[in-house]
A and B are shown apart, each in its own frame.
Chain A
Amino acid sequence: MQTLSLQPIREAIGSGEFKRAQLLWDSSAARLAEEFESDGFTQARLDEIRELVEWSRTTFLCDRAHLQDQLRRLQAELRVTSGYQSPDTRFGPATVAARF
């Protein structure tokens, strides 16, 4: 059975396309299960999957940290522009409400 390439998942996560990465994970999970049932996983394969999971987690953490920084900068700009009574409605309070 042909081994499923995990590179597309890595590329999707690397470019920040998390939605596509999620779709790829979901479809890959089924293929990986078939692969396991059919041939089982070698140690190298297990290491590869484990490394991808760990790398993905770290990449998500980094992206979240960068986004939080951007939010903080936007909030600071909002405070400054509010002080000048900026009419720019793009930076209304609703824009910066987010949860992680």
Chain B
Amino acid sequence: MGTVSTSITNTPVTTAGSTSSTFKGSSAYSSDFQNIIDRSVAIATLPISLLSNQQSALAGQSKELTALDTKFSALQTAVKNIGTALSGSSFKTDVSKKDTVGVTVSDGAREGVYSINVKDIGAYESTLSAKNWDVADAVPGKPNTFTLVIGNQNYSVTGANNSAQSVVDAINSKYGNLVQATTVNVASGDTRISLKSATLGRTTLDLLQLPSEATASGLQQQATAGYATSRTGATWNASGSAAATYTLVLGGDQHEFTPTSNSAADVASQINSQYGSQVRATVVDLGTSGSPDLRISLQSVTAGALNGSSVLDLKKSGGASLQTQQVAATSRTSVAWNGAADPEGSRSTYNLVAGGTKYSFTPSDNSAASVAEALNSMFGAQVLATVVDFGTSNNPDLRISMQSRGGSSTTFDLQKTTATHFQNEQTQGALASYEMNSSGVTSTSKSRSITISDGVTAHLTGISGDAPATTAPVDITVTRSTSAVDTALTAFTDAYNAAIDEVDTQRGQDAGALAGQSVVSQLAGLLSSISTFSTAGQVSGLKSIGLDLQTNGHLIYTSFQFMAADIMSSISVTSFLGSAAGGGFLKNATDVLGKIEDPTTGLLKTSATDLKSQITRITDTIAKKQSQVDALQIRLQNQMAVSDALIAAMEQKSSYFSSMFSAQETANRMYQ
């Protein structure tokens, strides 16, 4: 009985027609019956033979596709390697003053010449314990929980014990990305903790120990009705040599006044002087020190409506409203803010109590401005803190008012706790500052690693020029290696030609199993689109970089031609080659090969999958038909067996009668 192999890749599948003489009858016609069975089975097996042939052909095509896949996969790798040769790893850098700047190059870098004038490499803020670290247990046998202050943020730190090393280990393990802590042996028997910020620039670094029974009381007075508040909608316009007359709207009342000048400070001062019992005006700077953005903030002295309305407005007489009405402030310090510095060895830390939730923070100092700044920078999504002056310029009476950002009815309170502090400033932090390419613009950075161009990073190690003058820029030259690209193009040429040759084995007189299949012409077309790629520019085609397309479809690579083009204009060569994602030759080649090699949608992959399906279908069909043939054979054998038995029985009877007749005849002859 013939069998069909289910292997669909390399092993040819065959069926064998059944020629075994399995039927053995006992009649004189048994061999005839056998012939009938054999003939019927042979006829029934004919379709199976055809299918087997188809299966073999498809398996042959599958094998050819695998060979093509190998070549195109190698070509894909060669294209990728061209990209690698153009990447950061093949770049070289030259720096005119190596003790000032170091340079690293990564992918995406381009050749170029840059200059950087390093004015300041910046400094890391660092603090040192004021004396030998020797902190007693607040609770005997239990390590203390310290508060690590970084900027305005408070972090809880608990070591295995109170020793300097344990505290340092706890800080580094939890907050090592923000601060580096270490122990320093300053003198015999004097070990302290040094904290160093992870980024450049001024900040607060401290270790606090809160009093064990801290019960901080609230500093703010809540006002459910809220204090009407408005603020100038745009940067205050102080133009005009002569002071204008302004209209101040306090709820339902309007008042006119003329300040000494149009400056925000003078306008605010005049409002406080004349109407300070109803409203307080404060100048607020929403900008930076280099670019101020002054606004006038108005806030009612008493909570609730003012003269029947909550509107606080300001306008130049006859002009438009200058103020934008804001959410009423629902919390304000009840007495003049105490901004006095903490006594030595102490530092105040605060809690913002929003609803029932406490958020701890530590401002840079106790001034109302610093506390408000810390609140806005850390909790600005929830609350807007403003300093309102209820006093005069000679005798200020500052209060902090708080408005809900989300317009909710959340109450806001402030609590202050004075803690023991351990660290003193050792080095003052400063941002790095530099000027690129003699632009006249000074930039600052929190890091000494500056990205000066895509893929090019300068690492600042010193200031330019001789101290103290810093006017001599450092030149940085980034160049690409020619040899790496040359090697990659050579390999690409070999891979391309191998792919062409493999495609050609399926065409022409001695074509392979894929002869006539559309996939062959599609592959040839796609390969051609790679070798004929062109674009606008000084280098517009492969021939310009030494890759010459022959009439037989092969590429010939001339290394010297590429090197000449690269020397003439490496930027043009880099631009022509491009990158796999960005553009140029590499993107075109990558996209084309993706159409061929993509594991899901690629031409070769879909063709192979399709073949596999066909082979599987044929294999199943062959198996079914073979089963039918086997069943037919058995049926015929059974039928023939019955017939043969019948005939054999008849032959027996015939023989009996023949012998009877013969005996009778003999007897008759004897008796005649």
Contacts and interface: CB of A to CB of B under 8 A. Distances in A.
A66 interface: yes
Nearest to A21: B467
Contact of B468 (A8, A14, A58, A62): A8
Contacts of B194: 62, 65-66
B53 interface: no
B contact patch SS: strand
A68 B196 CA distance: 14
Contacts of B186: 58, 61
B425 to A, nearest CB: 10
B183 A62 contact: no
B99 interface: yes
Nearest to A15: B123
Interface string B183-213: 1111000000010100000000000000000
A11 B182 contact: no
Contacts of A92: none
A62 B193 CA distance: 9
A3 B121 CA distance: 26
Contact of A15 (B120, B128, B185, B426): B120
A8 B126 contact: no
B122 interface: yes
Contact of B183 (A15, A24, A65): A65
B416 to A, nearest CB: 31
Interface in A1-21: 8, 11-17, 19-20
Nearest to A9: B467
Given A14-B428, A62-B128, A20 B467 contact: yes
Interface residues of A, number: 21
Among B121, B126, B427, B430, find the residue whose CB has the most chain A CB atoms closer than 10 A. Answer: B427
A contact patch SS: helix
Contacts of B462: 17, 19-20
B467 A65 contact: no
B468 A15 contact: no
A61 B123 CA distance: 16
Interface string A34-75: 000000000000000000000100110110011011000000
Nearest to B99: A19
A23 interface: yes
B123 A16 contact: yes
A18 to B, nearest CB: 10
Contacts of B124: 16
Contacts of A12: 467
Interface string B111-134: 000000000111110101000000
Among B122, B123, B183, find the residue whose CB has the most chain A CB atoms closer than 10 A. Answer: B123
B552 to A, nearest CB: 43
A14 B125 CA distance: 9
B183 to A, nearest CB: 7
22 contacts: A8-B468, A11-B123, A11-B430, A12-B467, A15-B122, A15-B123, A15-B427, A15-B430, A16-B123, A16-B124, A17-B462, A19-B462, A58-B184, A59-B427, A61-B185, A61-B186, A62-B128, A62-B426, A65-B183, A66-B180, A66-B182, A66-B194
Interface of B: 99, 120-124, 126, 128, 180, 182-186, 194, 196, 426-428, 430, 462-463, 467-468
Given A12-B467, A61-B185, A65-B184, 5 more contacts: A24-B467, A58-B128, A58-B184, A61-B186, A62-B128
